[in-house]
Amino acid sequence: MSSILVALCSFSCVFSCFTDCFKGTDGSRKYVTVTKKGLWTYADPGSVDLSKYKLRIADFVHAVFVVSVFGTLVLLDRKVHTYKNVG
Q: What is the pLDDT of residues 11-49, one digit of tens each?
A: 999 999 998 888 877 788 888 888 888 888 776 666 677
Alpha-carbon separation of residue 50 from 12, 24, 28, 86 (angstroms): 23, 11, 16, 51
- pLDDT grade, residue 8 (50/70/90)? very high
Can you tell me whether residue 21 is helix, strand or coil? strand
Verdict on whether the full-model pTM lies above 0.85: no
When pLDDT is averaged across residues 49-76 and rounded to a whole number, the result is 89
Contacts of 6 (CB under 8 A, 6+ apart): 74, 80
The secondary structure of residue 10, as a DSSP letter, is H
Find the angle CA(59)-CA(39)-CA(64) to the nearest 5 degrees: 15
Can you tell me whether residue 38 is helix, strand or coil? coil
Q: Return the higher-pLDDT residue of 42 and 71.
A: 71
Could you give the CA distance from residue 58 to residue 87 in angstroms, rounded to a whole number?
46
Given a cut of 60, whether residue 59 has pLDDT beyond it is yes
